[in-house]
Amino acid sequence: MVYEFIPNGTLYHHLHIEGQERSLSWSNRLRIATEIATSLAYLHSSVSIPIIHRDIKSSNILLDDTMTSKIYDFGASRYIPIDNTGLTTRIHGTFGYLDPECFQTGRLTEKSDVYSFGVILVELLTRKKPTCSHLSNEYGGLVPHFLNLLASRNLDQIMDPQVLEEGGTEVQQVVMLVASYKNIRGEQGPTMRQVEVTLEGLQRGSNKKYKKDDTVTEEFENGSIGGNYPSWTSEG
């Protein structure tokens, strides 16, 4: 068997090297997130029979010689017939990335991949390991912990300083996108295609200077987080 040589390892490796203060640039993180979203959106909605990966995590995202991302390990993937809204299956996935609804009900839908991708988004924003046991034991996981800090206006406690230093207003937009995951259960929450479109738009947008404000928290608390992503205030 012949495989493509992937010289730059995994996304997990770049984010979680011990003792390394700086990691991938924010622009590269946003691009990689967009590439992953585009690939998953294709699997969910552009192939004749939708495919659910079932084990989306940063260690399954490979980076080639141009730092282009590639989704790896389809050993657990499942086809979902178009006329089905999901199927009941044995739980499969990685601790820290697993969709809570699928874990509780055994019901597999494309939203399981959407949730796992949301964990990667938070990982890109924070450089925190979703697989840390204390996150699950104390907070219910990385995404719930992130959303709780957002609601309490303490998001700076977990954000990667490099992201705040390098990122523009699109950082706030990505935070807002993650906030939409509070409605991920059932048919609510974003689809992978909606996530793709949002991230592509952010990549094309201008990189205005980041300004700390409470816009995201207010949207989150008022329950208005949804498919629409309003403009952000900026300095300058």
Comparing 235 with 29, the larger pLDDT belongs to 29
C-alpha 127/C-alpha 38 separation (Å) is 22
Q: Mean pLDDT score of the chain, rounded to an integer?
A: 79
| Architecture in CATH for domain 11-203 | Orthogonal Bundle (1.10)
Q: What angle do CA 65, 66, 70 make, to 5 degrees?
A: 80
Flag whether the pTM goes above 0.75.
yes
- 34-49 pLDDT per residue, tens: 999 999 999 998 888 8
Beta bridge partners of 100: none
The type of residue at 14 is H
C-alpha 210/C-alpha 164 separation (Å) is 7
Comparing 228 with 141, the larger pLDDT belongs to 141
Q: What is the pLDDT of residue 62?
A: 96
Q: Which of 177, 186, 107, 93 is nearest to 141 (CA)?
A: 93
pLDDT at 233 over 70: no
Q: What is the pLDDT of residue 220?
A: 46
Residue 236 parent element (H or E): none
Q: What is the pLDDT of residue 232?
A: 25
Catalytic site residues?
A: 55
Average pLDDT over residues 102-114: 75
On whether the CB atoms of residues 178 and 209 are closer than 8 A, the answer is: no
Comparing 88 with 172, the larger pLDDT belongs to 172
- 161-216 pLDDT per residue, tens: 999 999 989 999 999 999 987 665 555 678 899 999 999 999 887 455 444 444 44
Q: What is the pLDDT of residue 79?
A: 56
C-alpha 52/C-alpha 112 separation (Å) is 8
Q: What is the pLDDT of residue 84?
A: 52
